[in-house]
Structure 1
Amino acid sequence: MKNILHPPDDIRCMKTLNKDKIKTTVQVHCLSINEKKLQGIVPLLKNYLMKIEKFKPIQHIADNKVEIYLSPELIKNWSGLPNDIQSALEKNSVTENDLKIKNVELTYENFSAEDLLRAILPADKEGLSSFTKIGHIVHVNLREHLLPFKSIIGDILFDKVQGCKSVVNKVNMIDNTYRNFHMELLKGENNMITAVKENNCTFKFDFSKVYWNSRLCTEHERIIKKLNQQDVLFDVFAGVGPFSIPAAKKRCIVYANDLNPESYKWLEYNAKANKISNEYFQSFNKDGADFIKTMIKKHLPINLENENNIFITMNLPALAVNFLANFEGLFNPDELPNITKTPLIFLYCFVKGENYTELAKELILENFNCNVSDIIDIFRVRTVSSLKEMMRVTIRLTREILTTENLRKRKFEDHEDNNTKRSKDGKEQEESR
């Protein structure tokens, strides 16, 4: 169905916001009725009202009259109303004679940010597919062809996104060491210290110096729901605490680590701000490998002896897989008690390709000395871009891995055999053509 309630066509490729030019007139069918009939009429028409920003579909006018504006996309004449609605209106003494056509002027104020940007940005190229709100900050990632429009994009988002005080554009790739990126202020205050609420916790941080992705809120919640009181969480790349703080608030025993000094500062701040007891929370400012080799090595045996459920989150998708090898041979056999409850790793990674589940499995097996059977779940968290997926791989951390002496011995012969068979079958098929 064509959208009639859209901005004017002549604003395409506007680079400087001119609100006066964003005006259009549409013809709308309007029922004019006595105000006394309103209570019986509105429930009949609630699905057919004209719905657009800052426009009242029910307007009181003089002489106890009310005008009810109907959606021009749905109602083009009296017969456009379903027969049962027509009959119900007529029982209330409202007939086709009460339906009038009125010209309604729509302005900049009536259109959403999405409507305006869709009308303004080039039609033959990919538009601004999404933006993210982090507290008072609206964050965009503009592709090169949208940079000439960055000023008007900033103006529109600043105006239209509720609570927005700053609009920023990412200007380079995320720094792999500290997971932050340089930003360009498009509109508003140059204040990057913000706060967000997630999973019954408040997180404050400097968005220009730490990593935060609001699109991972649901994933954070999924993991927190897997944890119970007195479970143990080792958070290797904790950031400002989206896994660690809610887990500790749930009275899990949490060891949270991040290499970035700014992330570590806000991690500690957020623990105090959310009234997390030191009984349940310890924080560290170490490299991930160092944290595994020292703090996990120190605290894992104790918690295994206590038969606690143990979870390890590794949320550094671009690099986390490279840290898995630090678990191999972490202990001498006599340093580790017999395992009755196997620790689980939630490893996050990026893969590119259509068969993302197999690609994630192959990535783990190429970088970690585990069996195929140790990979117990592969879950697609979100689509990052075309054919690029963020995955969560759940790995069973067995005693064999933790005490192995053959650090780089591969244990996925069945996996290799399947790949060899597929390759052989494909070659035979090619030769038969």
Structure 2
Amino acid sequence: MDSKKVKRPKSLKEALKGKLTESEMKLLGRAFDYLGEIAIIEIPEELHHKEKLIGEALLKVHKALRAVFRKSGKVSGEHRTRSLKRIAGSGSAETTYKENACAYHFDAEAVFFTGRLSTERQRVSDLIGKKEKVLDMFAGVGPYTILIAKEHPETKLTAIDTNEAAINYLQKNAELNKVSSQIITLIGDASEVASELKQKFDRIIMNLPAGCSGHIPVAVKALKKKGIIHYYFFSSTTEEAKEEVERVFSDYNSKILKIKKVKPYSPRTFTFVADVELSR
């Protein structure tokens, strides 16, 4: 009997050597998201017939993975979710993902979550002042809210999301990270809910790049006499991004503190963030 251990491949390219051609490997690209014990990958239609092979290769490369899912639809709908197809491994798309010393439990098919904003979320948390009151208008499962609460124990946060499943996970994640006492969670349309709040905020996070500009008027009213909005949006260039921010906030006494490219969204479009200070 051969007692030698099977050597684990160091990369997906190594795991697929001899199984995919060089042109197929280039077609596959590197669009993989590792979220705890699951991986979500984008496979072009031309390679769908080899999806099981690709998924099993990923499992061989990454020992911690339980299952691999292929994106089978675009992010869409009011809750910004997408359909997933399991192509290797076992179990559902429910997972626990760790980031910036926080843990987030969620079902990747029931809620929107991306691990590609880890650095950006930490950047925003680093800006939080002592005893700030923060409103997260599109909170999801809480990656901004919970990180800020954990790093700033004196901060009070209000988190809104229209997706009941996301808010349920946020509440569980607040317990998991021991920050429940700092967070108020609300379900519903961000503008409708925020307009009914009596409290005013030092800072508002608006991470809904596909359509948060329409919520700006309510967000501005929810700020204290002087406050900051982190406004996320899509644009192609930094110059166009600046024009967009100037247009969106043209009716207000505002000052652009920073405009930053956050991550790619498509070949010619990027997610940007603008830190905007408003006063009245």
String of CA shifts for 1:153-200, please: whole Å, max 9, x gaps.
111012211211110011111024112111011011132221112222
SS in structure 2 at match of 1:115: helix
Q: How does 1:76-225 map to 2 (within 5 A)?
A: 109-110=8-9, 112-117=11-16, 120-124=19-23, 126-225=27-126
Choose 213-222 or 126-135, whichever is displaced more: 126-135
Give 1:398 deviation, angstroms: 2.4
String of CA shifts for 1:200-238, please: whole Å, max 9, x gaps.
221111111011111111111111111133112100001
2:176 maps to: 273
Are 1:377 and 2:278 counterparts?
no
TM-score with structure 2 setting the length: 0.88
Q: Distance in 1 between matches of 2:74 and 2:176?
A: 31
1:396 maps to: 277
Q: For residues 265 and 110 of structure 1, do their structure 2 counterparts lie closer, same or farther at Cα, with a shift above 3 Å needed? A: closer
Q: For residues 394 and 257 of structure 1, do their structure 2 counterparts lie closer, same or farther at Cα, with a shift above 3 Å needed? A: same
Q: Distance in 1 between matches of 2:51 and 2:248?
A: 41
Are 1:344 and 2:228 counterparts?
yes
Q: How does 1:264-343 map to 2 (within 5 A)?
A: 264-278=167-181, 280-295=182-197, 298-300=198-200, 310-327=202-219, 330=221, 339=225, 342-343=226-227
SS in structure 2 at match of 1:172: coil
Q: Distance in 2 between matches of 1:313 and 1:110?
A: 41
1:259 maps to: 162
SS in structure 1 at match of 2:28: coil
Give 1:380 deviation, angstroms: 0.8
- Bigger share in strand: 2
Q: For residues 110 and 379 of structure 1, do their structure 2 counterparts lie closer, same or farther at Cα, with a shift above 3 Å needed? A: closer
**Same amino acid, percent of matched pairs:** 27
CA contact (8 A) 1:236 1:258 kept: yes
Give 1:126 deviation, angstroms: 2.6
1:410 maps to: none
1:362 maps to: 243
| Higher relative contact order (Cα pairs below 8 Å, separated by 6+ residues) | 2
Q: Distance in 1 between matches of 2:16 and 2:205?
A: 38
Q: For residues 129 and 372 of structure 1, do their structure 2 counterparts lie closer, same or farther at Cα, with a shift above 3 Å needed? A: farther
Q: Distance in 1 between matches of 2:254 and 2:160?
A: 29
Q: Distance in 2 between matches of 1:274 and 1:127?
A: 36
Q: Distance in 2 between matches of 1:155 and 1:374?
A: 51
Give 1:327 deviation, angstroms: 4.0
Q: Distance in 1 between matches of 2:75 and 2:8?
A: 35
SS in structure 2 at match of 1:243: helix
SS in structure 1 at match of 2:199: helix
Give 1:141 deviation, angstroms: 1.4
Q: For residues 111 and 381 of structure 1, do their structure 2 counterparts lie closer, same or farther at Cα, with a shift above 3 Å needed? A: closer
TM-score with structure 1 setting the length: 0.58
Q: For residues 184 and 277 of structure 1, do their structure 2 counterparts lie closer, same or farther at Cα, with a shift above 3 Å needed? A: closer
String of CA shifts for 1:78-106, please: whole Å, max 9, x gaps.
xxxxxxxxxxxxxxxxxxxxxxxxxxxxx
CA contact (8 A) 1:132 1:214 kept: yes
CA contact (8 A) 2:253 2:278 kept: no
Q: Paired residues, what number? A: 273
Matched to 2:132, the amino acid is D
SS in structure 2 at match of 1:219: helix
Q: Distance in 1 between matches of 2:8 and 2:98?
A: 29
SS in structure 1 at match of 2:22: coil
Q: Distance in 2 between matches of 1:183 and 1:390?
A: 23
Q: For residues 110 and 373 of structure 1, do their structure 2 counterparts lie closer, same or farther at Cα, with a shift above 3 Å needed? A: closer
Q: CA RMSD in A?
A: 2.5
Matched to 1:282, the amino acid is I
Q: Distance in 2 between matches of 1:397 and 1:163?
A: 45
1:386 maps to: 267
SS in structure 2 at match of 1:126: helix
Give 1:127 deviation, angstroms: 2.6
Unaligned runs of 5+ in 2: none
Unaligned runs of 5+ in 1: 1-53, 56-106, 304-309, 400-433
Give 1:386 deviation, angstroms: 1.7
CA contact (8 A) 1:236 1:256 kept: yes
